[in-house]
Every structure is written in C-alpha cells, then in structure tokens.
Structure 1
Amino acid sequence: MSTGRVVIGGSSGFMGQYLQQKYRSEGREVTTISRAGADYRWGDQTGIDQAVDGASLVIGLAGKSVNCRYTPDNRAEIFRSRLNTTASLGAAIMAAAAPPPVWVNSSTATIYRHAEDRPMTESSGETGTGFSVEVAKAWEEALFADALPRTRRVALRSTIVLGHGGVLGPLKNLARVGLGGAQYDGWWPVTKSRQTAGTAHLPGAKHGRQKFSWVHLEDIGRIIDFIEEHPELAGPVNAAAPHPVDNTTFMATVRRVLGVRFGPPMPRWMLELGAIGIRTETELILKSRWVLPDKLTDAGFDFAYPTLEPALRESFG
C-alpha cells in the first residue's frame, strides 16, 4: 500500500470527504484544495503549486454538481468549475520539481451514449451527444492537455456513486412516502432552446428498462488505490460495478432494502414536473447508462460490492 502524501482537489464534496477520512485513517498525509474550508483555495496557484510538488498522488474531484437545472448560468459554471480546476492542477504538476507519479481526475460515464443494446467499455464504448457529453469530453481534454511525462494520468469515468448520503438520500425519502416506483420515460415537449443547448432528453427506454450503472463509494477508494499500485492503468477507466441493473430492478431493490412494499411507476410527465420543482434534470434518471469496468476487471480488481443489494444495504445502514 502506498504511503506518500495525497492532494485532493475538490475535497469538500461527497467523494472528497470520504477520501480524506480514508487516507488519514491509513496514516497518509492529506492536503486539501477547495473553494473554502481547505488547506488551499482554488485561485491560489502558488499554494496549489506548493501542495502538488512532492506529492505521491493527486486526485481531482472539483466541479459544480450536475444535479441542477441546466440554465445558461449553470451550464457555464459546470464547464468553468471543471476546466479551470483541472487546468490548475495540470499547471502545478508541470511546474513541480518532484511531480506526482499519479494523477487521478474525475470524469463521468455520462460520456457514453444512451445504451440499451450493449454495454459501454473503455475500448468499445461510443461517446454520445448533447450538453452532458460535451462537458465530459472537455473535462478529459483538460486532463490530457499538457505533456506531463513523469505523471501517469487516469480519467475516472464514474457511474452513480452509492454510499451514505449522495443520490440515495432523496430516493430514500421518496420511497418511504410511496413514490419509489420505476421511472418511466415517454414523450415530453422540448423547446428549441433546449434542443440547441443539447439539454433535451429524447424518449428512450420503455417501462423503466433504462440501464442503471453504479459503484459503491468504498470501491471508489479501493479503485484509486488499485490504480496507484498498477502502472499499466492509464487513460480512461470506468468506475462501475460489474453487475448493472435496469431502473425497475434498482427501484425495486431500494424498496426491498427499505421495507417498502408499494411503489407505483412514475411517468415522464410526473418526473418532469418534479424535476422542475426540485431544480434538477430528468436526464439523470432516464438516460440508459450501461457501463462495464473492463480495464479494472482485466487487471484483476476485486469489487467489495459487485452486486446491488449489499451495496444498498450498506448505504442505507
């Protein structure tokens, strides 16, 4: 197991807080970068340069949450928050006298197209279209933009991360009030402005059959450890459990784990109105994300949570 200093950029979020606790409990020194409440703040390039120089591992997690309405201002901030922070870490690594040997930066499995026909892997996956895909592509381009010959870079294409908090909090509340049914796609009017912006979700999978790829938060930490210890892993790496399910199965498992017996299907019109009310987008639940972790499994990675129900039981525990 590696013992050197870890730099976490974007340390205040769901994954960042978990990784801080994990590495400190293992006795590793951790340096944090965030907008506030960290050792260094974004924009303090001199401080970030000092933090990165001599580190063993740099982890980039920063970026505005996509759990919002895709207004022009929010779209701009989603891009800016990812590209500027990634560029800042890259500049620090380029300037370092002792650059870190490994830089793991967040990406997203949303880079792949809506997939109902076959799973997407690092070698055979096809990129999609639209706003979310363009964000993912630009994020990875920023990671690999500069020549950093002494630093191995990995774009961690994360699926939905399960754990205490995160996306499961609202789902838990919905299920307990009888709204934990499968989420059904269907027709919904799309404005020209949303078509132009690439934020329109067109009808896809029927009857809750959109695929749901996921990974447990503990496995995220274990994946990063595995990447650090396996120099053959570079470029895009899918962070996804090896047994994805469809939306109907996912929501049924949520209800079973919570002991909720009933959950009627939620039609598209109800989902859209609800998304407007809580200021989010239905793409997050209606796009079929079918992703497999070929690079990890081929390298011998063993998931602590390969199947859904144990992962949910731990997350809701």
Structure 2
Amino acid sequence: MKLLITGGTGLIGTELIGRLRDRYEITVLSREPEEASKRFGKGVQALRSLDDVSDLSDFYGVINLQGEGIADKRWTARQKTRLQESRWEITRKLSERMRACEQPPKVFISGSAIGYYGAQGDEVMTEDKTVDLPDDFAHKLCAEWERLALEAQSVTRVCVVRTGVVLASDDSALQKMLPPYLLGLGGPLGNGKQYFSWIHLQDIARVFEFLLEHDDCQGVYNGTAPDPLPQELFSAKIAKVLRKSHFMRVPAWVLKLLLGEMSQMLLTGQRVEPARLQQAGFEFEFSSAEAALRDCLLPSSSSEQNS
C-alpha cells in the first residue's frame, strides 16, 4: 500500500517513516527532495510539492505533518503568517483534492497541537472537554488547521493529532532546555505551576501508526503521554536525571523579554491527557516523564544502571 507523507523530514516524520517503510510504499513531500532522498534511501520517493503528485487516488493514506517550526523564531507578524500559511495551505489543498477524488485515500491523518486548548490552568483537558476557547494566536492557528483537515470527513476517515512537547535525544525542544542544567543553573520557568504536557518521540510516531492502522479511529486525539506534570516538577526531573542542581528560576519577565508573545506557551501550559487514545487501546512505551527523560538524556548503559 502507498502512503503520502508531508513534512516527512521533520522530527516526527523521520521517526514515523523509519517505522513504516518496510510495510508501505512511501512518497514524502519535502522542500529539499534531494536531501530527503539521501536521508531515506531507496524505497522512499521524495517530491518537492503536492503539485508533483498526479492523483491522490493512488494512495491508501495521507499523513500531514508539514509546518514551519512553532518555536524556531520569535513570533513577529511575518513569522505568524509563515506559521499559518505553512500549515493551512497544504491542509486545504489536501482536503480539496481528496474531495475531488473519484476514489479518495482511505484515511487522512493531520497534525495539530495542544496549543489549541490555550491557558486552562490545572484543569484536565481531554478531547471531549468543553472549554472557553481562547482568543490567542496558538489557538487560532490550530483551530483553522484542524477545521481544514476535518473538511475531508465527507469522503474519508480523518484523524487529527494534537501533539504535546516531543521529547527526543536530538533536535527536539528538550535540547533547547538543557544548557542551564548542564551549567548547574537549572530551574522552573515562571512560577513553575503551569502544566507541561509531553510525549516521547517513539510514542508520538506510534500514535500516528496506530491511527493509520485502526479503521475504527477517527476525529481528534491528544498526542500526549498520560503523565502531564507541573513545569517545576518536570524541571526537577531533568535535573535529577542529569544529576545537576535545581535551584534557579527563570522569571516570567525574562521569558517575555526574550521570546515575546511565544513565551505564553511556556508560562501558561495545558494539562492534557490522551483519553481517546487510551480508550482505543493504545499503550505507551514511555508513560512516565522520568523514564522518557532517561531514555533521551542518558546512554543506554547509564539508563539501565539508573533505572
């Protein structure tokens, strides 16, 4: 069976393709198809644009992961436009082309993020929770992203994954958090009471795989581990795993000065739980934050010795 994956050279896409390539014929869309071909080798076709795909009817499923990195740059007006267009345009085109297909793909899985929920304090956010939706950039970005994907529900099975902060050993948000800890200056962000909802890279790739292969799954799913923690506790676990001190605190005003509007993602947070995934029978390999951090931050031998 054939799969089309957009954004396949990103963190999640690379892990996912590694899991699926032996069972599916994969076409990946990438702004740098030559680099993608080198990364994945034979068996994975790389194309530059959706315009290079003649007919979506050729594919069993489509997985949409494309989008400018949310935390790559300060949220200027221009960067906000890039973040929106990089997600909305491809999702709109995919939905439109599926609805125009004589035989559309059997499943469409599209990314989103827990920024959809906005600041909800320590209230548990599950997919079915009714909340007062915030009037902020992150929510608007995700809400339109999801709406465009769900338009394809009239012709195919659609799943939307609201992903939390992905933990990985390389090229993830976790690495951006480490320098203060390595210097012995680690500590909570702001007051530290805000919740931090995370997921291990292997598990989020397995979530997409699970939804792809379970025909009874459709709708919105929270792509987070079942162990969201207050940020000060998550921070303390990083220090514990690294065997570093944990006494500094990064004041909210410093984050606002450095990051501008983006700082709200770090200072408010969400307490998100994967209720629908668990109801569907998905089992996490990394359900505790400390186990996930050990896997990401310690060599295998050290992790085994300290487990």
Give the structure-1-normalised TM-score. Answer: 0.84
Q: Which runs of 5+ in 1 are unaligned?
A: 185-206
| Distance (Å, rounded) in 2 between the aligned partners of 1:114 and 1:31 | 37
Q: Give the alignment of 1:137-286 within 5 angstroms.
A: 137-146=143-152, 148-149=154-155, 151-165=156-170, 166-184=172-190, 207-275=191-259, 281-286=262-267
1:172-202 Cα offsets, whole Å, 9 max, x none, are 2221123320011xxxxxxxxxxxxxxxxxx
What is the DSSP-based 3-state SS (H/G/I as helix, E as strand, rest coil) of the residue aligned with 2:246? coil
- RMSD across aligned positions (CA): 1.8
| Distance (Å, rounded) in 1 between the aligned partners of 2:153 and 2:20 | 28
Shift of 1:146: 4.4
In the alignment, structure 1 residue 288 sits paired with structure 2 residue 288: no
Q: Give the corresponding residue for 1:136.
A: 142
Does the aligned pair in 2 maintain the 1:182–1:208 contact within 8 Å? yes
In the alignment, structure 1 residue 16 sits paired with structure 2 residue 13: yes
| Distance (Å, rounded) in 1 between the aligned partners of 2:194 and 2:163 | 18
Q: Equivalent pairs: percent with the same residue?
A: 29
Q: Give the corresponding residue for 1:194.
A: none
Q: Give the corresponding residue for 1:94.
A: 99
Shift of 1:87: 1.5
| Distance (Å, rounded) in 1 between the aligned partners of 2:130 and 2:225 | 16
Does the aligned pair in 2 maintain the 1:48–1:89 contact within 8 Å? no
Does the aligned pair in 2 maintain the 1:154–1:236 contact within 8 Å? yes
What is the DSSP-based 3-state SS (H/G/I as helix, E as strand, rest coil) of the residue aligned with 1:281? helix
Q: Give the alignment of 1:64-143 within 5 angstroms.
A: 64-67=68-71, 68-126=73-131, 127-143=133-149
Displaced runs of 4 or more, over 6 A: none
Q: Which runs of 5+ in 2 are unaligned?
A: 37-45, 299-307
Aligned partner (choices 10, 25, 31) of residue 29 of structure 1: 25
Q: Give the corresponding residue for 1:304.
A: 285
What is the DSSP-based 3-state SS (H/G/I as helix, E as strand, rest coil) of the residue aligned with 1:144? helix
Does the aligned pair in 1 maintain the 2:69–2:83 contact within 8 Å? yes
Q: Give the corresponding residue for 1:193.
A: none
Q: Relative to 1, partners in 2 of residues 1:125 and 1:65: Cα closer, same or farther, differing over 3 Å?
A: farther
Does the aligned pair in 2 maintain the 1:62–1:82 contact within 8 Å? yes
**What residue identity is the alignment partner of 1:40?**
L
What is the DSSP-based 3-state SS (H/G/I as helix, E as strand, rest coil) of the residue aligned with 1:105? strand
Q: Relative to 1, partners in 2 of residues 1:176 and 1:90: Cα closer, same or farther, differing over 3 Å?
A: same
**What residue identity is the alignment partner of 2:280?**
A
| Distance (Å, rounded) in 2 between the aligned partners of 1:11 and 1:230 | 21
Shift of 1:97: 4.1
Does the aligned pair in 2 maintain the 1:7–1:30 contact within 8 Å? yes
Give the structure-2-normalised TM-score. Answer: 0.86
Does the aligned pair in 2 maintain the 1:119–1:125 contact within 8 Å? no
What is the DSSP-based 3-state SS (H/G/I as helix, E as strand, rest coil) of the residue aligned with 2:272? coil
Does the aligned pair in 1 maintain the 2:6–2:64 contact within 8 Å? yes
1:72-125 Cα offsets, whole Å, 9 max, x none, are 111111111111111222233234444221111001111113122410111114
**What residue identity is the alignment partner of 2:148?**
A
**What residue identity is the alignment partner of 1:79?**
Q
Name the structure with the higher helix share.
2
1:275-317 Cα offsets, whole Å, 9 max, x none, are 36xxx82123112211111111111211111110111111123
Shift of 1:235: 1.3
| Distance (Å, rounded) in 2 between the aligned partners of 1:27 and 1:173 | 39
1:183-237 Cα offsets, whole Å, 9 max, x none, are 11xxxxxxxxxxxxxxxxxxxxxx3110011111111121122212323321111
| Distance (Å, rounded) in 2 between the aligned partners of 1:295 and 1:147 | 18
**What residue identity is the alignment partner of 2:142?**
A
